[in-house]
Structure 1
Amino acid sequence: MKVGVDPSLCEAHGECTSILPAVFALDDDELLQIRPGELAGDEEEPAARAVGACPKGALRLSR
């Protein structure tokens, strides 16, 4: 499973970074960075919570 972002929707609220900082981070310009590659098994549930917590619906999960 992978996570992605629609940068045109992301407003850098940071909800995802507080839920799963190993995958999501805001850079110095307040742009969301997502660790590339597949999520580890134990990251899938928190990633789903992060996607659901995004106030702008900018995140998505894919297989």
Structure 2
Amino acid sequence: MRVTVDDDRCRGHGVCCAICPEVFALSDDGYAEVLTPDVPAEHENSVREAVESCPEHAITLS
């Protein structure tokens, strides 16, 4: 599973970072960035939760 954040949609709410800080972080500009694009199996459920919880629908799984 791979995860990406659409920079044009992200507004820096930080919900994904709160749910799964092992995979997401806020950049110096205050927007979400992916630390680990290839999601480790142990974080898949948390990443799915982050996708569903993103208020801007900026996170995509593939």
TM norm structure 1: 0.90
Identity among equivalent pairs (%): 39
User: Structure 1: which 5+ residue stretches go unaligned?
Assistant: none
User: Structure 2: which 5+ residue stretches go unaligned?
Assistant: none
**CA deviation map 1:26-60 (0-9, x unaligned):** 02210221014411111111000000000010001
The one-letter code of the counterpart of 1:27 is S
CA–CA distance in structure 2, aligned partners of residues 50 and 37 of structure 1:
14
RMSD of aligned residue pairs (Cα, Å) = 1.0
Paired residues in the alignment total 62
1:39 is matched with which residue? 39
| Contact 2:12 2:26 survives alignment (8 Å) | yes
